[in-house]
């Protein structure tokens, strides 16, 4: 197998691959493998759930990184820094203030943007500052418009020679890489032409996430769902089109509903799949009813207005937190690929705690960017220039640490919660 060593240069990210026969499991041991030690990583929104979880995961995966926790609240920042230890510090920064942003990015190798919500944001201020300060960039954006705005800065990022990835969290993020790998395997194994890709997501409660995720969910309910059917773009009502999907071991069967998520468009365009959709469901079951009711009862203009949505969040947050305490925070992603010759494959990723696995997933992308897996430009995770094809397996290995179930390239019957028994070669 390949031994991989990396050279990090803040303005030019290069990777050197060599061959030797060291053990596959060594891939997870970053300390021996890479030269990303002492790199400086700024996590914007680091005082929040996703950013904090990313900082903790990075400090475990690569203890020699210097972590800068960026946010507006020093008290919250100092509390996290005390957990992260000596190699970290708090940096006061407001992403709405270009001067404060550029000052924070000075002398930083990579900025990880988790300071959402990304919905209805007017500009990609952090990516623009990353380009002007020649800093590598990634975000955990989960909004189609924002991701396309980020992509529109591609040429500027190329000119500045900086690598950047948008939508690089757990979903979207790891789910895009799972989809790309299913498609690659299907093509390699001559399973016919990939025809339909379905992203299915389940999270109990808010998944232990912050108030921003509640705002994100409400803002998404105000957006028409874009899906693709046999190559044609279609628009559908949010939180409709229910399916009961089997998420397998530890999660079971769950109801999920259509949502407007950026990976649908990027998978359709980049992976060339004619039919693509994404659905999401939560627990307890009445939250799903509540979400469906909101799309019918509250005008979509209200659900698209950040200020009005913030008022709704303030109203609902205490109830949501109380129910979160009972619901837990299990998370599962299932990606289904159907090919032309009746062959189908599935990938599943399930974890007991979204608040932990979102950080592990985001950290896996951060390490990939630092190690030189990403070319200059702005990319989606499924693009080979975003995460090099050879590096996808390592990214999935890192992201899936701590999962209760992680499978790829299985036939659908193999992942069923209650597998049918095979008697004399026949499924019953
Ligand atoms: N792609 C994925 O897989 C994925 C998964 C989950 C969540 N997300 C997205 O991640 C985002 C964060 O979610 P979360 O649960 O971590 O929310 P959160 O706990 O509310 O954290 C958001 C953080 O952003 C910071 N922030 C907000 N506005 C800021 C500003 N103007 N300047 C600097 N910092 C600012 C806040 O810090 P201070 O108030 O301390 O300044 C806050 O701590 C959401 O947009 C969510 O949709 C993506």
Is 40 in a helix, a strand, or coil? strand
362 vs 223: which has the higher pLDDT: 362
Token pair, residue 217, equals 């969910």
Residue 326 has pLDDT above 60, yes or no: yes
pLDDT-derived band at 420 (thresholds 50, 70, 90) equals: low
99's CB contacts (< 8 A; 6+ apart) are: none
Q: What is the pLDDT of residue 300?
A: 80
Mean pLDDT of the chain: 86
Cα-Cα-Cα-Cα torsion 88, 91, 95, 96, nearest 10 degrees, comes to 170
Task: Report which protein residue has its CA nearest ligand 1's atom 8.
Answer: 140
- 140 Cα nearest atom in ligand 1: 1
Q: Is the whole-model pTM more than 0.85?
A: yes
Give the model's pLDDT for residue 26: 35
The number of the ligand 1 atom at minimal distance from the alpha carbon of 51 is 16
Q: What is the DSSP letter of 383?
A: S
| pLDDT of 421 strictly over 60 | no
pLDDT tens, 239-257? 999 999 999 999 999 999 9
What is the whole-number distance in angstroms between the Cα of residue 210 and the centre of ligand 1? 7
Q: Distance, CA 50 to ligand 1 centroid (Å)?
A: 7
Q: How confident is the model at residue 207 (pLDDT cuts 50, 70, 90)?
A: low
Strand order in the sheet with 40-44: 88-92, 66-71, 40-44, 110-113, 136-139, 163-165, 377-379
What would the two tokens of residue 259 be?
């949502």
Using the atom order of ligand 1, give the atom closest to the CA of residue 143.
Answer: 47
pLDDT of residue 8: 37
Q: State whether residue 276 is helix, strand or coil.
A: strand
Domains of the chain with CATH codes: 2-170+355-399 (3.40.50.720), 174-353+405-415 (3.30.360.10)
Q: Which helix (H) or strand (E) holds 410?
A: strand 405-410
What is the pLDDT confidence band of residue 307, given thresholds at 50, 70 and 90? confident
Residue 76 CA: which ligand 1 atom is closest?
40
pLDDT at 133 over 80: yes
Matching residue, tokens 């990777």: 15
Identify the pLDDT of residue 422: 52
Which residues on neighbouring strands pair with residue 7, listed in sequence order? 14
Strand (E) or helix (H) holding 377: strand 377-379
Q: Which residue's CA is the nearest one to ligand 1's atom 28? A: 115
Closest by CA to 174, choosing from 269, 263, 282, is 263
* Ligand 1 centroid to residue 343 C-alpha, Å: 40
Cα 253 to averaged position of ligand 1 atoms, centre (Å): 30
Cα 396 versus chain centre, distance: 12
Judged on CB neighbours under 10 Å (0-12, 13-18, 19+), 409 is: middle
Ligand 1 atom nearest to 73, measured from its CA: 40
Distance from Cα 67 to the centre of ligand 1, integer Å: 17
User: Rounded to the nearest 10 degrees, what angle do helices 211-221 and 306-327 cross at?
Assistant: 120
Residue with tokens 């009972």: 326
Which residue's alpha carbon is nearest to atom 42 within ligand 1? 48
Lowest average pLDDT, out of 17-31, 192-206, 248-262, 381-395, goes to 17-31
Quick one: which of 90, 245, 93, 266 has its CA closest to 175?
A: 266
The pLDDT value given to residue 40: 96
Q: Look at residue 340 and tell me whether its pLDDT is greater than 60.
A: yes
Q: How confident is the model at residue 197 (pLDDT cuts 50, 70, 90)?
A: very high
pLDDT for 209: 63
43 lines ligand 1 (CB under 6 A): no
Residue 100 Cα distances to 4, 91, 94, 106, 127, angstroms? 37, 10, 6, 10, 14
Render pLDDT for 33-89 as a digit per residue (tens, 0 to 9).
445 778 999 999 999 999 999 999 999 999 999 999 999 999 999 999 999 989 999
391 CB within 6 A, ligand 1 = no
Per-residue pLDDT tens for 269-281?
999 999 999 999 9
Q: For residue 378, is pLDDT > 80?
A: yes
Q: Using a 6 Å cutoff on CB, does residue 116 contact ligand 1? A: yes
At 246 the pLDDT is 97
- The pLDDT, as a whole number, for residue 35 is 59
Between 237 and 306, the more confident residue is 237
pLDDT at 29 over 70: no
């Amino acid at each position: 197998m390949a031994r991989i060593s990396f050279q990090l240069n803040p303005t030019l990210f290069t990777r050197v691959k060599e061959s030797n026969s060291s053990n596959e499991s060594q891939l997870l041991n970053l300390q021996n493998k890479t030269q990303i030690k002492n790199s400086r990583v700024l996590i914007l929104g680091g005082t929040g759930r996703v950013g904090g979880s990313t900082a903790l995961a990075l400090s475990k995966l690569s203890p020699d990184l210097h972590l800068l926790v960026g946010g507006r609240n020093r008290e919250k920042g100092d509390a996290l820094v005390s957990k992260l230890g000596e190699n970290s510090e708090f940096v006061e920064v407001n992403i709405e203030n270009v001067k404060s942003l550029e000052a924070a990015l000075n002398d930083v190798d990579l900025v990880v943007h988790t300071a959402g919500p990304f919905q209805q944001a007017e500009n990609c201020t952090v990516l623009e500052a990353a380009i002007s300060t020649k800093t590598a960039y990634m975000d955990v954006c989960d909004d189609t418009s924002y991701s396309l705005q980020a992509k529109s800065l591609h040429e500027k990022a190329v000119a500045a020679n900086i690598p950047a990835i948008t939508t690089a969290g757990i979903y979207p993020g790891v789910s895009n890489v799972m989809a790309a790998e299913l498609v690659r395997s299907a093509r390699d194994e001559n399973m016919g032409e990939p025809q339909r890709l379905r992203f299915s997501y389940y999270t109990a409660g808010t998944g232990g996430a912050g108030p921003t995720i509640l705002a994100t969910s409400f803002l998404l309910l105000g957006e028409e769902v874009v899906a693709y059917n046999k190559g044609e773009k279609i628009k559908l009502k949010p939180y409709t089109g229910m399916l009961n999907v089997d998420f397998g071991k530890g999660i079971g069967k769950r109801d999920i509903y259509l949502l407007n998520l950026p990976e649908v468009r990027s998978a359709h365009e980049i992976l060339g799949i004619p039919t693509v959709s994404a659905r999401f469901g939560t627990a307890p079951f009445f939250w799903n009813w509540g979400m469906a009711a909101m799309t019918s009862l509250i005008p979509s203009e209200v659900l698209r207005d950040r200020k009005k949505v913030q008022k709704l969040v303030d109203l609902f947050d205490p109830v949501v937190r109380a129910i979160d305490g009972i619901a837990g925070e299990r998370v599962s992603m299932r990606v289904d690929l159907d090919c032309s010759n009746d062959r189908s494959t599935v990938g599943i990723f399930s974890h007991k705690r979204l608040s932990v696995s979102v950080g592990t997933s985001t950290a896996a992308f951060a390490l990939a960017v630092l190690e030189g897996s990403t070319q200059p430009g702005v990319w989606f995770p499924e693009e080979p220039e975003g995460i090099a094809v050879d590096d996808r397996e390592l990214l999935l290995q890192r992201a899936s640490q701590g999962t209760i179930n992680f499978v790829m390239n299985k036939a659908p019957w193999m992942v069923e919660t209650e597998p049918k028994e095979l008697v004399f070669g026949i499924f019953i």
